[in-house]
Amino acid sequence: MPFPITSQVQTAQQTPKHYGITSPISLAPPKEADLALARKLTETLRPFGVFEEELELQRRILVLGKLNTLVKVWIREVSEAKNIPASVIDNVGGKIFTFGSYRLGVHTKGADIDALCVAPRHVERSDFFSSFYEKLKEQEEVKDLRAVEEAFVPVIKLSFDSIEIDILFARLALQTIPENLDLRDDGLLKNLDIRCIRSLNGCRVTDEILHLVPNIENFRLTLRAIKLWAKRHNIYSNILGFLGGVSWAMLVARTCQLYPNAVASTLVHKFFLVFSKWEWPNPVLLKQPEDCNLNLPVWDPRVTPSDRYHLMPIITPAYPQQNSTYNVSASTRAIMVEEFKRGLAITDEILQNKADWSKLFEAPNFFQKYKHYIVLLASAQAEKQHLEWVGLVESKIRILVGNLEKNEFITLAHVNPQSFPGPKEGTDKEEFSTMWVIGIVFKKMEGSENLNVDLTFDIQTFTDTVYRQAISSKMFEQDMKITAMHVKRKQLQQLLPRIAIQRSKRKLSSDGLRAMNDGSLDLSVDSDNSMSVPSPTGPSANKIARASSPQSSTGTATNTTDLQGKIDASRGSALLAVDTTKPDNVGTSSSNAPRKGTAPLKRPASPIQHDSEKKAKVDNVQQNPHPSPCLSADPAIKRPASPLENEMTKKAKVEELSTSETKSSGETDGHAVDPAPSVDVVPSEGESKTETELTVVDAAEEIPPAQKTPSADLSDVPILPTNPIPVVKNSIKLRLSR
C-alpha cells in the first residue's frame, strides 16, 4: 500500500521541526526593516571587539590542530608503555574537543579556549597530569604551564602560542577513540567516575545547545549582543551570583526556540520581553529532561529539597541535568530582572527608530548609583600567593552578598564583577592586592527615629569561611589578609583607579572603548568559567595580578594616610554612623563641607598597642580630610604569648553627639544629593570584652583642633593568645537616621 506511506512522508516534510518544550510564540518571517536593524546591530558590535579577525581565527585552528596531534602521539606512547597490542595501537585514537564560547562560535578577541582531551580506557588520569604534562612542557610554544589536579574539575592551564587554553581530561570506557565520536551519546557516561562526567559535561551541554536552536547564525549574533550587554551592565559573572556564559547562551537559545524565524534584531528585543516577564523561579528548559537510569544526581525539585530554593533555575539540556544558576541570590536576581526591564524599554525605542543600538550598550554609572558601598580588599605579599588568595576570596564573595541581603535593614547588595588593583599603603614592603566594590541599598525606615544596623555577623561569617577554606586546602599564609571597608559614594575616587572613575562619569565612545580594551579593563574579553569551577591560578587571576602589581597600578593610589580608618579587626570593632535620608541612586556628591548642625567627632587612636606599652597615649589624634572607614579582617599575628597573659580590657568610652536639623526621608531614586551623613556614635551593648568601640568620622568632616575632646583610655587592650587559626572579630555597625 504505497499511497498512505507517500502521504505520510509529504505531511512530515511540510511540518516544520519543533524546538523546545512548548510551541513557538510566533513563526512570522523577518521584514525588511528587521533585516536592516540586524545589519545595524552588527556594525554597532564591531567597535566593541566581539568579532575576531579571520587571521586570528585561523591561528586558533592551527593551534588546536597541533594540540590534537600532540594528544594522539602521547596516547600512542602511553599505549606502547602499557603493552597494548599493536593492532589496537594503530587505531587507538584520542581527540581534543572544544566547548564554551569558542565551540558556540561567540568567542571574542583574546578569549581563551576551553578544551577536553578524550582518551581510551587504558589511559589514566594520572598519566594526563604526569606524562602529558611533561610532554607539554617540552613544547617551545607552551608558556605558563600549570596543573590544577585537585580542583572540582581537574584542569591543565597553559598558553600555546600566546593563546590561553584550559584542558580537561575524560577517560571513556572504550578501547579506541573514533574520529566521529559524538559526545552527546548518553551511553558514553556508563562506568565513568564523577570527575570524567564533570569534564564531559561542558562539551555535552554546548553541543546540545547548538542542536536545539533553529538558526545557528541568528543565535550567535543575538548571543554576542546579549553577552556584551550583560558585561557592560555588570551582570556577567557566574561565580559572583549573576549568570555565566552558558546560562546566557541557554536564555538566548530559549528565545530562538520561541521565535524560530526571527533575525537577531528581533530576537534581542524578544529576549528582554520574555525574561522581563518570566515568572521566576519557574525553570528555563530547552528540552524535556531525560532519565538515563545511570543513577546520577539531576536537578529535580520534586526529589531534591534543596533544588526548591533555587531562585532563577536555568537547566542544562544534557544528562545529568543541572541548574547552571545555583549561585543566584535574591539581590542578583532583582538586579538582573531590573536590567531586563530597562533593556526592553531601550529596544522598544530602537524598533521605533527613536534610539540607536549604541544606547543598549551604554555602561551604567555603578560608582554613582549607590550612596553606600562596601569595599573588599584581598592582599598578600607574594604574587603567587596573591593569585591563589584572590581566586578563593572571589569564589566566596557571594556568601557575603547573601549574608547582607538577609539583613532586615538591607534591600539590596550589588557586587561589581569587575575587580580593581588595591590602593597602595605607602609601605616599603611590596604587597599585591585586589579590590571589589559592593553597592548597598538600605530599606526606607518608618516609625523610628534611629535604627542600629549591625553587620558584624555578616562580615564575620564571610571572613571565617574564607580563612577556614584556605587552611583546609593548605594554601593559607600569614600575610594573606581580607579588608572590608564601608565608604560613601564620594570616597570611592580615593580607592578606585582613575580609569574606572572616568568610565563611570562619562559615556564611552567607540574610540574610548578601544583604548580601554588595550588596557587591563577590557570588557569584551570572554572570561566564562561557568562550565567548571574556576581555579585560583587561572588566566583571569593572572590578569588580576598583573593589574594589581605595583608596576602596573596606574590609577589614583591611596596611601596609608588615606586609610586611617583601618583598624585590626581581631582586636577592635568599628561603629559607623550612617544617614539614609538621602537617595542611594544616581547623583553627584556636593561640597565636602561638614553638614550644618553636626558636631565634628574625633577618632580615637588605634587599639593596636605595642606589647611593651603599659599605657596607651592617645592625646594626639591624626587629622585626615578623607578617611576611609575601614575594617581589616586579617588573621591574628602569631607570637609566643602565654595563655596566662593579661585578659583585662576596658571599653573606650565615646561621647554621643546628637545631630540637629535631621531630615526624615528614605532612599529614593534619581536625584543628585549630598551624601555626607549626620554622624552618631552608638555605644554597643553586650560587646565582647576583647573589642574596643571606634567612632568613624565621615570623609567630609575634618576635626578642627579647637574641638578635640579627651580620647578614651586604651591601656588595657588585651594581647591575643597564640592561635594557628586566624582569629577574626569583625564589627561594622551603622546607625540609620530618619
Strand partners, 99: 114
Say whether 101 is catalytic.
Answer: yes
Q: Which of 79, 95, 114, 458 is catalytic?
A: 114
Position of cell 577618632? 603
SS3 assignment, position 156: strand
SS3 assignment, position 712: coil
Q: Which of 19, 102, 236, 319 is catalytic?
A: 236
* Direct distance between the N- and C-terminal alpha carbons of the chain, in angstroms, rounded to an integer: 85
Say whether 454 is catalytic.
Answer: no
234, 417 Cβ separation under 8 angstroms: yes
Distances (CA, A) of 244 to 35, 165, 353, 528, 530: 29, 18, 31, 6, 5
Nine-digit cell string for 453: 544596623
Nine-digit cell string for 416: 561589581
Nearest to 375 by CA among 464, 440, 436, 454: 436
Say whether 259 is catalytic.
Answer: no
Give the β-pairing of 410-415 and 372-380.
unpaired
The DSSP secondary-structure symbol of 132 reads I
Distance CA 700, CA 464 (A): 33
Q: Which of 34, 127, 166, 634 is catalytic?
A: 166
SS3 assignment, position 457: helix
- Could you tell me how many helices (H) and strands (E) the chain has, helices first? 19, 14
Say whether 528 is catalytic.
Answer: no
Which residues, in sequence order, are CB contacts of 109 under 8 Å at separation 6+? 49, 50, 51, 52, 53, 56, 517, 524, 525
SS3 assignment, position 266: helix
Number of residues assigned to the chain: 738
Rounded to 5°, the CA angle 506-520-531 comes to 105
Nearest to 694 by CA among 612, 625, 632, 611: 632
Q: Which of 227, 231, 371, 602 is catalytic?
A: 227
Strand partners, 243: 236
Say whether 530 is catalytic.
Answer: no
Distance CA 624, CA 630 (A): 14
Q: Which of 101, 524, 570, 632 is catalytic?
A: 101
Say whether 324 is catalytic.
Answer: no
In the chain, % helix, strand, coil (3-state, to 5) comes to 35, 15, 50
Position of cell 526571527? 262
Strand partners, 116: 97, 168
Nine-digit cell string for 570: 581581631
Q: Which of 19, 79, 102, 112 is catalytic?
A: 112
Give me the phi and psi of 414, to 5 degrees please. -120, 110
Helix (H) or strand (E) holding 420: strand 420-421
Looking at the annotation, which residues are catalytic?
Answer: 101, 112, 114, 166, 227, 236
